[in-house]
Amino acid sequence: MLLADRVAIITGGAKGIGKGIALKFAREGCAVVIADIDLKNATETLAQAINKGGRGIALGCDALDDKQVRATVDKAISHFDKVDILVNNAGGMPAAPTPIEDMPEADWDKVLTLNLKSLFLFSRAVVPHMKSRKYGRIINLSSAAAVNPPAHAIHYHTAKMGVIGFTLDLAHTLAPFNICVNVLLPGPVRTDFYDTMLGKLTEKEKDVFFDELGKGDIPLQRAGTPEDVANAALFLASELSSYVTGDALLVSGGSPLRPVHTPIQKTLDR
Ligand SMILES: NC(=O)c1ccc[n+]([C@@H]2O[C@H](COP(=O)([O-])OP(=O)(O)OC[C@H]3O[C@@H](n4cnc5c(N)ncnc54)[C@H](O)[C@@H]3O)[C@@H](O)[C@H]2O)c1
């Protein structure tokens, strides 16, 4: 197993990509601390991990509240004696995108705060512990959209670019302590993330949306899954990546490579 005896905190681990990471890590021998504002689904995810032979705890935690963040880190250490891995996954687009001239200031603040303050608070709480042990892996969730915006969502894309800057800075300063800090840039992954943009669609309508998105925008011709992202997170959490820090890994089915049916390709094909 790639993470035998490791301990990981996964923020936003109740659903979506974070859930995929929690289940994958648990199967690889890691104790998972699922820290999410949604305790009900966090508990359900933990039950699934335990069902498959994993171990861990589920904690209700708002990643934007320093007191709750510190309590989560303290509980993780008191349960498992250490924290080896932090996955700063909590994030998303709680305010729908609009043209910049129509964007309420509150929406800008909400999206930047969720995607940036959460990883600042969790990293700040965990780094002293990792430094003292001379070991750590921090994995941050940005987005392929930060470097190749597929549509106008300036609050989200700005925040996710900030996640890359945060990662590069921290990677440099923590390298002497054997703490590796890397960032994942997923392409579109079918999760509840899209709900604020799409409104309430039926599962059938979502099938059509993600099918068209995959075929239209992604060279590998499909949207991603939480497991696709979890596989990359596993690499960055394990010793397979012991000489990798400050890296930004696209998990995006070939995007932002141009899809094969771009206008220029159509011209060449004629
Ligand atoms: N789904 C995609 O296409 C996609 C693509 C690129 C990047 N991402 C990023 O991946 C990460 C996970 O996204 P997802 O698609 O799984 O979204 P999701 O909405 O399915 O899950 C997000 C999780 O974060 C939790 N959360 C939200 N606010 C929180 C807070 N303040 N404190 C603690 N937990 C909180 C939610 O309860 C939920 O469990 C996000 O950072 C997102 O921006 C997603």
Write out the DSSP string of 115-175: IIIHHHHHHHHHHHHHHHHT-EEEEEE--HHHHS-SS--HHHHHHHHHHHHHHHHHHHHHG
Give the CA angle between residues 178, 85, 134 to the nearest 5°: 25
7-195+225-256 is a CATH 3.40.50.720 domain: yes
Q: pTM to 2 decimals?
A: 0.96
Q: What is the CA(91)–ligand 1 centre distance, in A?
A: 4
Q: What is the CA(52)–ligand 1 centre distance, in A?
A: 24
What is the domain partition of the chain in residue ranges?
7-195+225-256
Taking the CA of residue 13 as reference, the ligand 1 atom at the shortest distance is 39
* pLDDT value for 259: 60
Mutation test residue for ligand 1: of 9, 32, 36, the one with most atoms within 8 Å of CB? 36
Residues in the chain, pLDDT under 70 = 258-262, 265
* pLDDT value for 258: 66
* pLDDT value for 268: 76
